[in-house]
Structures are given as structure tokens and as C-alpha cells.
Structure 1
Amino acid sequence: MSHITSALRAPAASGRPRPFLIDHDSYATAVIRQGRPVPWTDLAELTGHFHQVHSLLDPDATWVDAGALLRAYLSVRPELTQAMAERGRPGYALRTLLDDEGATEAVVRTLTTLTTATGRPVIVSVPSPARWLAQTHAIAGTPRPEIDEDRADSASLYVAQWLGRLGALPGAMILLDARGDDVDIVEKPEAYTAVVNVCDHLEWIVAMRDDDGVAVVGDHPSIGVVDPAFWRGAGALPETPVLLAQIPATAAPEQVLDRLATLT
């Protein structure tokens, strides 16, 4: 059993009856950072930030938004953004970003450092292939193509190659974020066979998060999404082996701690 698979089975590392995964970026920005952005490009400061998050919330995995990390990286590498815009053909911006050695090294260094610092397996959240295709055209300022299933599948090949270059992370779940109305197609994680095959080889779990929940590929524990009302003291928890919660930026810190205490 891989490290990440073991971590997603009860009892959780935190001592909770079920593993509790937390998408904390919005809340941590508001409460811990006092509105300042997550310091993705300063690894020492970022590590300190994650220490604070884990000390406060004790999540059962280290949540890293690699899409946000790469956007921050582009803010200090304007020449890479310019390179992404050199050609307007579909997928060129995404491929240029994911082929960049400096960007990939920054992601690997960040993931390795954070998982070592927290002692928990990592959940790498990235935009789904179709949405990453749309977003990188927007970042580059090139015309957005019509995004259909074929173009999404082509984008997934670039994502798969990039994932393979991340190397031997101690344990990971790759969470493809397909929320929102960026594109018109309905994405299914199992359709991206290149991504699934790479992750199978590396013993990583693949899942997709959309507006309806989380779909996990393969024989792994299912993940239920916690209703935001939970943080206000309402709403029942899903009856799933693993829980995923996004803490709203507006949640009251005292109530967040009280609600977390109910999970033990």
C-alpha cells in the first residue's frame, strides 16, 4: 500500500476517526496572513506559513495548490509569460509553462520541502486539463481556442508528462480541479488515461474535484465534500471514509477550532 493510500485510511494521522483533508488557502490568507497572499515564491516563509497552518488546523495531508504556485512563479518570471505568448496555437502556452525546467524545479523543491516539514503526504491540486488549457491562454494573452474533448485530451498529455517529471514524491494525490464554468465540456478523470497511467506508475492517487464533489480513480477510499455550512455549526458530514473541506475565508476562527474539535 502506498504512503498516500495508507494516509487516506482510518485512523487518521491526526487522531480523527476519518482522514480530514483541508483546502485552507482562502482561510489561511484571511486569518494567518491577514490578507497578504500565500508566499509561494519565498520557500522559507512558505514553510513557516505551512507550519502555522498545520499547527492550527492539523490536516491529515499537506494541501498544495500547484496552480497557484505556478501563477506566483510567473509573476517573478515575466520572460516565461512572454515565451508562452510567442505562438497562439491551442495548448502552446500550457506546454511552454509545463516544459520550463525552472518552473518544474520550483514545484518539486516546494513539494519536497513542505512534505518533509509537515510529515504528511501531499495533495497536489492542479487545474483540470481543459481548465488549465483555458487559463494559460488567458495568462499569455493569446486567443482562447474552442475547448472540446480532443483538445482537453491533448492538454492532458502535457500534464501527464509534467507529472512524470515531478519525480519521487513520498506520497501524493493529484487532484484535478474542474470546478467553475471556464469550459463547456464535462471532464471525467478516468478519461485522461495518460495522467492516470503516470500516477499509477508513481503510486499516486488521481481524483477530480468538480462542483458536484470528488471522483476518485481506482480502488481507493471515496472522498466526501463537507458542506460550507459545517463551519457555521450546521450541516451533516458525508458518510464517506475520507472528508474534504474548504474553509471559507469569512469563517470565524473560534468557530473553526470548535468545529474541528467535534471531529475527534
Structure 2
Amino acid sequence: MSTSLQSLITERPSGRRRPLLLDHDAYATAVIRQGAAIPWTDTPALAGHVGQVSGLLDPDVAWVDIEALYRARLGERPELVAAMGARTRAGTALRTLLGDQESSRLVVDTLQTIARTSHRRLVIAVPSPARLLLRAHEIAGTPLDEVDEDRADAASVYLAEWLGHLGELPVALVVLDARARGTEPEPVVPEVLGGYTALGNVAGHFGWSVALRSEEGIALGADEPRVALLAESFWTGVVEAPEADALLAAIPPSAVPEQVLERLAQLA
């Protein structure tokens, strides 16, 4: 059976010779929204935003920043934040967050809206298990000093259970982002894609592709198509796109709109 990424490469919905997996949130916030936040919790406004992005950039997928979506939802759920911080034990904050049924339902509804509006498969961009654990505790006010292998593995189980709620959605790829933010501690053991059995199992069940993104690049399973990262300098014409089956890129918020459109045309 083909994985979700292999199917995307066959379909190439934009008509480009290879799919472009585009993280456009920072650029869209700066250019399309003129600095206003993405309206994650306002469904009609979000649908309008997604439609604008699709019309302007024509990405091959709808990129969804799950952390940003949850942070917006938590801004309206102070009682959930309080429950996350009610106990300081490692893992409690994340288990409470991902186990909240109301939040999960609203997130799934949001993802359905994005998929329906964009007419694209979804890229589920989520912090890697270790990073997700750290950020859940940071939100809860019970920060962790370190994440060892056992804690990261437990976090991967919570994440896998949560991903199970997305089984009816058209997912192209799950991207686990292992890059640090600010002064976050590094995991005791570096994260590797093959180390998370629970995530591999849920991905295999749904036929999804999963990638681990780090400072060094992006890693997928051995049988998956080759995905290359586009350097930010691509958008200013300094470098060209590498050879690969698909390209993953983030447009910097400082990019010049005319140059962005020119560079997108070169990827056709």
C-alpha cells in the first residue's frame, strides 16, 4: 500500500513537477494578515485566511501548526491550563492536554475546515515528543529541567493516542519538529524517528508518512520518497532548489512578495 506521501507525489495537486510542502504561517501573518494573528479559534475567519493563502501561494498541502492551534485554544480554556499544572509530575501536563476531549474535538473540526477549504491534504506539524513534553509543562507553569528517554517515550505514546483522533482526515504527512526553541534543554538521548514505536504503529495503521525534523535536516522511513529542505535563501534567489521527490520549505516573514511569487513560478 502506498503511504500518504507517496500518494501526494503521484497526485501533485498544484501541477508542479514535485510537491511543495509549504510552511507559510510566518509569511502569511506578516504579508497577508499585516501582522494580525491567524484566527485559529474563529472558523469563518480561518476559512477565509486559508482561502487567501491557497489562492496566493497554491501549496500542494495545507500546513497546520498544531502547537499554534492548541495555544490559541488554551487562551480560551484557562481551566484546562490550570488542570495541566495541578500536578508537577513529568508527563501530567501533556497527558491532560492531549486527553481533553473537548479540545480534541475542536481541533479535529478545525482541521476538517482547513482541509475542506484548501482542497488539499494536511501536513500535521507538531513538536517532537520531547519538545511537546517540554512545552506542555512550560504552558502549565511546571517546567522540566530535562527529558530522558523514558519521558520522551511516554510522551510519544500520548501523542500517538491523540493522532488516533485524526484517522478520518486526509493527512499527507506528520512532521515531528525536534528543533529547540530559545533555551530549551536538549533531550538526554537525541530523538530518532525509529525510536518511537507507538507513533510508527499509528502511522502504519492509517498509511501515513511521518518525518522527524531536526537542525540537521529531515528524516523519513527508508521506503519513503526523498524530501529536501529549501533554504530560506532560496526566496531571495541566492540558492536553487535541490533535487528531491518533494520539497519542504518555510517562507521567512521578511521575504519580498514579488520575489516569493517569482520563486514559486520557478518551482512549477
Band the TM-score falls in, shorter-chain normalisation: over 0.9
- Residue 201 of structure 2 aligns with an amino acid whose one-letter code is N
Question: Could you tell me which of 207, 212, 220 is aligned with 1:208?
Answer: 212
> Is 1:219 the equivalent of 2:226?
no
Q: What is the aligned partner in structure 2 of residue 52 from structure 1?
A: 52
Distance in 2, Cα, partners of 1:208 & 1:183 = 18
Once the two structures are TM-superposed, the CA of residue 143 in structure 1 deviates from its matched residue by: 3.5
Q: RMSD of the TM alignment (CA)? A: 1.4
Q: What is the aligned partner in structure 1 of residue 17 from structure 2?
A: 17
Distance in 2, Cα, partners of 1:246 & 1:7 = 22
SS state of the match for residue 49, structure 1? helix
Once the two structures are TM-superposed, the CA of residue 3 in structure 1 deviates from its matched residue by: 7.5
TM-score of the aligned structures, taking structure 2 as reference length: 0.94
Distance in 2, Cα, partners of 1:137 & 1:148 = 15
Distance in 2, Cα, partners of 1:11 & 1:141 = 44
Distance in 1, Cα, partners of 2:107 & 2:256 = 32
Are the aligned partners of 1:115 and 1:122 in contact in 2 as well (CA < 8 Å)?
yes
Are the aligned partners of 2:6 and 2:225 in contact in 1 as well (CA < 8 Å)?
no
SS state of the match for residue 9, structure 1? helix
1:87-102 matched pairs, under 5 angstroms: 87-102=87-102
Question: Could you tell me which of 173, 179, 192 is aligned with 2:196?
Answer: 192
1:127-142 matched pairs, under 5 angstroms: 127-142=127-142
Q: What is the aligned partner in structure 1 of residue 153 from structure 2?
A: 153
Distance 1:119 1:11, change over 3 A: closer
Q: What is the aligned partner in structure 2 of residue 104 from structure 1?
A: 104
SS state of the match for residue 40, structure 1? coil
**Residue deviations 1:185-213, cap 9 Å, x none?**
31111111101101110111111111111
SS state of the match for residue 213, structure 2? strand
Once the two structures are TM-superposed, the CA of residue 226 in structure 1 deviates from its matched residue by: 0.2
Distance in 2, Cα, partners of 1:5 & 1:249 = 27
Once the two structures are TM-superposed, the CA of residue 140 in structure 1 deviates from its matched residue by: 0.4
SS state of the match for residue 138, structure 1? helix
Identity %: 52
Distance in 2, Cα, partners of 1:183 & 1:135 = 11
> Is 1:85 the equivalent of 2:85?
yes
**Residue deviations 1:21-45, cap 9 Å, x none?**
1000000000011001111011111
Once the two structures are TM-superposed, the CA of residue 87 in structure 1 deviates from its matched residue by: 0.3
- Residue 81 of structure 1 aligns with an amino acid whose one-letter code is V
TM-score of the aligned structures, taking structure 1 as reference length: 0.96
Distance in 1, Cα, partners of 2:35 & 2:133 = 29
Question: Could you tell me which of 179, 183, 186 is aligned with 2:185?
Answer: 183
**Residue deviations 1:41-73, cap 9 Å, x none?**
111111110110010000001100111100100
Name structure 2 gaps, 5 residues minimum: none
Question: Could you tell me which of 248, 260, 266 is aligned with 1:262?
Answer: 266
Are the aligned partners of 1:207 and 1:216 in contact in 2 as well (CA < 8 Å)?
yes
**Residue deviations 1:77-101, cap 9 Å, x none?**
1110000010000010000000001
Distance in 2, Cα, partners of 1:130 & 1:52 = 34
Name the count of aligned residue pairs: 264
> Is 1:114 the equivalent of 2:114?
yes
Distance in 2, Cα, partners of 1:69 & 1:176 = 15
**Residue deviations 1:194-241, cap 9 Å, x none?**
011011101111111111111112522121000111100111212111
Are the aligned partners of 2:64 and 2:125 in contact in 1 as well (CA < 8 Å)?
yes
- Residue 117 of structure 2 aligns with an amino acid whose one-letter code is A
Distance in 2, Cα, partners of 1:216 & 1:36 = 34
- Residue 8 of structure 2 aligns with an amino acid whose one-letter code is L
Name structure 1 gaps, 5 residues minimum: none
- Residue 27 of structure 1 aligns with an amino acid whose one-letter code is Y
- Residue 184 of structure 1 aligns with an amino acid whose one-letter code is E
> Is 1:67 the equivalent of 2:67?
yes
